[in-house]
A and B are shown apart, each in its own frame.
Chain A
Amino acid sequence: MESRYNPAKNVFIDSIEIDDYIALDSSVASYKQLLHSIEKPLKMILVFGRPGTGKSILLNYLYENLKYQKDIHYFATPTTNEKEFFHKIFKVITKKDLPSNTRVNFSTLVDYCRDIHGKREIIILLDEAQMYSPEMMERIRLLSDTRSVKFIIALHKTDKEDLIAKEHFQSRIWEVVELNNGTIEDIKNYIHKKLLKKNIFEIANAIKNNHVSLIYKFTKGNYRETNKLLFTVFEICEYYDNKNKDSNDETIFSKKIIEMASIKLGFINV
């Protein structure tokens, strides 16, 4: 028989699936800000934040919500090969495939974008933009200057990427949506909403404020770290649940398990 902790564990598998999107006050505010920015005549919008603050899921959520209303395209995985990347861009803009043995004539592509200005408004969501080379970024800027293509770029907030952002986009980006780690209240709501969304009421109720405080202490409100920690927590709970099947122990989820998971993940150095 499957442990009752198994579904709870699967809830915290880190993903950017729209089903996993949790509408917290802070994330709803960021989403609204992004929607509002899209309506403005901007060339580039930067979604900026430390890893694990929800940039990818926000882009995906936006894409899923607007894909039937707007000419919107989501590039989840960065293509470091320039030829391949512009093949994809070419297809999005012209809606035609290029033979694989040909190269995109970039100036022709820019001219094409100028021609469609006012007729189409293409939105391209670029995740993990720190992976693109400065040359590719420069070409992206040239395309956005035609005002036919609007780029929404998700970028990690580290010192290095901060520099890239300054150098390549500061003068061209008109809007920045910054995502931060959650507060303790955000983390509490995040955990509970995630479990309740999958109808795991019993375990959601077992997670009290002191547990959330401990989780927050280790993850510092980072959503990815929270997912990782809770996945490991429920994995350990599953082990004890299977071990003591007959005892029907309701108190497996405890601070002890959170600390054990934190040791496992290196949050605690023994």
Chain B
Amino acid sequence: MESANQTARRWLAILFVASVTLPIATQPAAPVRSPRNANYTLFVELDPETKMLTATQRLEWRNIRTVATDELWFHLYWNGWRNNESTWMREDRLRGRSARKPGKIKEGDWSWITIDSVHLVNRDETKTDLASTQTYRTPDDDNAEDRTVWAVTLPDPVGPGETATVELTWRAKIPRTFARTGFRGDYFFIAHWFPKLGVFEGERGWNCHQFHAGTEFFSDYGVYDVTITTPSEYVVGATGRETETIDHGDGTTAHRFQQADVHGFAWTASPDYIEVRDRFEHPELPAVDIRLLIQPEKEHQTRRHLDATKAALEHYGLWYGAYPYGHVTVIDPAWGSGAGGMEYPTFFTCGSGIHRPFGGGSPEGVTIHEAGHQFWYGVVGNNEFEYAWLDEGLNTYSTNRTMQTVYGDSFRVRRFVTPPGGRGIFALAFPEIRQDPWMGRLNRYRDDATSDVPSTPTFRYHPRTGGSLSYSKTALWLRTLENHLGWESFRPIMATFYERYAFKHPTPEDFVRVANEVSGQDLDWFFDQVIDDSVAFDYAIDSISSKPLGLEGFVGDNGDPTFVDPKASGNEEETKKAWRTEVVVRRHGGGVFPVSIKLVFENEEESIHEWDGRGRWTLITEERESKLRYAVVDPEGVLALDIHPGNNSRLRETPTKKGSVKWAGMWMVWVQDLLSSWAFYL
């Protein structure tokens, strides 16, 4: 009698043969947008009881470089959670905020992926066993315990333009969620799950980094044809469109998804999802079918997710270029699954909670961000291992801009009722306390401003600083550049970069080149500081004063100088009709940026002074009939990177203590209440 596993494998094998022999007639005809040099056909079966995936995989890889190679390097990401000494786990410990501490991870929580067979398919469809050539590689840190990069050697090199076809069978143990991936109860989120080729870069060899805690992914574009078998009651969402559904009649159903011109494939399965379909339509943009899979308890947020997705499709589309795929799947992950917000090709998660007051920025912020990744990451496919900021930063910038355009500034909330391992469930809204998203980014960036140079490969960043640099710093310097050049000049830079590098793997140099070319300016002075350096920007008004104009002391050129004393001469009142104002502006940080200094006088007159910002300080002097009221450096907030905006302005006189009285008074009520709570214990 066959075991369930054997039955599944036999069935998979039949389907596998059928699929590779049948023409891809069922695949929707789509214009070829990418090189399509890494094409996958996968049959995978989910066993919810044992938390196992069993799969067969066929890969066709075409060498699009000018150099031959006789190796194929694969990522086996799930081995990153195989034991506590993988590179991912070591780095996660350095981050110091892991919820999954070694010693508390049970046997069923770890994951692994193991290759059962690997064959090269020859032109005559005969097969060459490559198992004896397989090895694990550790290109980044020589960690002998790391099994996240796996390679096979081919009998003959694959020359430029030639194709290698490889068939694999493999099994994987699904983890209890690590890094957004895994299971919780009967909810499954399956990402970076299959043996996936690295990117062959010709003379530089294979770009196939180990799995790092602080970085994401990098792959070539291709065509994915994936058939997922799950229990029939499960709702399945995945990259691409579902083109075929087969009920096997044995309690399982196969779901076939196909997608061309993407560089990855993720999927999810749960019996609880509610499916909602909608369509984005805009007169200037192609229509996009939206499929939302939402948790029943959050069904009331359906419209908010759909509206936010449409907002991203509209604004990114109008600003940079159209979303090309025609469909997108939006996933509201299960509570506690850790899936949060994450992007995958034509598919993304946007985690939230059951109580999220509208205007508080959630779930709209995360939905727009992950939908936005379909542009920056999905279409423009940079290497996230080495320069994650190129997609995370561009996308965070775009998210903030979209959020501000569509929803305005979010208000603050305070959360209560915190279940173990979760976040506060109830959100008390403070509509009067609005937060500019750029300031939110600045708060996250400030402490890490000088920690790492962004041009350092991202996987070499300190594990705790990756987020602030990739997301926040980049968003802030893009905002600075937008303010500096003006939106009308800046938008075409982004749009050109999007158009030119769609379905390609651009580098930071490509972005700089486009920025210089499109703006018509040499912006290297700026990029040298924000990409190739870790200097902080901090301009400040150091001191201000307005003193009566008039000489005091000895004057005169001929003979002995004459002593002048305005008080003694009775001209004191007269001299107070004219004032000498002095403002000292300092540059505390290493970063240099041209800034304006605005002086506002008590008679409401204003003056603007431009400073190239190069020196460590500058003195501004003015003689006027009125005393200075205040001075402010960078009054328009052009330099969004300024880490201490609080020192940018200085009032000559303290106007009122109302603000401090008010907020201290309100805080005092809380202290009184707290003291009364403490009195409970007596």
A and B found bound together: no
